[in-house]
Structure 1
């Protein structure tokens, strides 16, 4: 096939012309832009595509050859253009063995003969390496930020524990100490015995009230130490008593000793958040709750048959954002699936160490 090299060479895009014969896909021609971006020379003309551009042998997950072959074979089969997803395909300079990480956006276009057969394939690429590396850098930074957030939360919890400990020492302990003094005084004198007992009793009552107040602030920690199954059953029982939802469940946690208390708390809070969302907004009649271990994760599934929503047009509300934030703090992930009139499914995956 003859190509006007003057026009072809000065096209702004990066193009190869390939023979339609698989699996070799011989390089028939190449323009200047492609040579520049791939660090190649015209010596590649006449050679098999994957001999010139093999996979990076140092990357065990390299799939460039496999994916590009599949795309070219699809073009031959359908005789229609195929736009590939962004693809990592490392390259090397002529005469060098070291590969450089590269990302590409490839498109393969068939050129048809008069009889409808594929005469050749135009392979076009756009390099997007800088964009992809920037995205990866931002993702790594986001992951680092999540670790910082988690550390900050754990530090805050530790400070709260210290405050409670100080409250016990500086307040309740002092009240009980004073009460003991009154009661000891009552045993040493007969003249005002009843008065000292009265004061001591009043101080003990005050200490009891102070401990009750502290116990309320510690409820989340006491729940963590309980069996997660019992807490989940308690929450579902409370929702069931409202007679607004039919609840079905599958809770399979054969070994709860694997679950850290902070993971338990995260599951409990997410369940409470989403059940509140369902009761307030979903207009659902039935809800299913599933909790189990799978592939090193503690999985929570919450599925309702409510009105659902269009995920393309409706952004997640504050409730969903809270759920995602809680999961992210624990290095977990959340999948939300919903369609108008078809309810909503939330799946939460939290790693269990």
Structure 2
């Protein structure tokens, strides 16, 4: 009987060892299939088995299987993370019903530096008590650092756009002040002089008042023109293309510049109003640049749409400029800030006596499309 029991005991131990070897083999196969660290934590004995390529590639250990105690894991947690991570895990253990745990934390490598891991595990309970936990540690250091870099770049881009907007506003205020001082103020001053002269010269009263009236009318027209430039066009009522036609017509009335506008392959049907206003302002800004600097006699505006993007081009036959010297001018900076708001790409082509071409390509993203 004793021999029989001894044999049965030995067979049971052998079966148990065989079962454990099979479990370890499965873990090793899983660990080989990934760069994660696979772990099996015996909670009652406070020991665990770690295995996988990640032990070497992420933690720097010259081994792919490592037996450790619970203190190894806790001591490896970053001092700023240990309280948060262990408290969350202990609350789950105390609940006794939650089987899944996951967290993100920094863990010390063999070399002493820290890497970032996403850890998740499955908890096994017996009589409401946690006895075992199986899971994997995924090294997400590279991904997290790239996300942080992208976030910083996004914040920097937003800051640059905000600064460009402020610069554009200040430039606009300066232009308004200049127009009021150089044009309207001079016209009204001349009107006052004629009115004062008319009061003292009865014989020429009618002529002097007529001259004053003419200057006042010119001042009114200057103010009307200035208001039209500053006021947002009624794009939602007229449409983008009609608003651009009105803009070019107004410019050609008072300037010796012929402007051709081609939009046969353009559809504004699904574009939101703010995006259409952005396109309008870019065209307005570039036409202003052409009038001020290019000495051009002809300008062309091309607007087209395809399945993926919107293409805008404004070119002229003027004197051109050196893009290396003038690329950072306020006018082009204003255009760049508007282009960046909708993730567009701005390109500027020019050279002395070669005219200029400004092209913008906008992706048809959610920010540009109208929300139904």
Q: Please report the TM-score for the alignment, with normalisation by the length of structure 1.
A: 0.48
Q: Which has the larger radius of gyration?
A: 2
TM-score, normalised by the number of residues in structure 2: 0.46
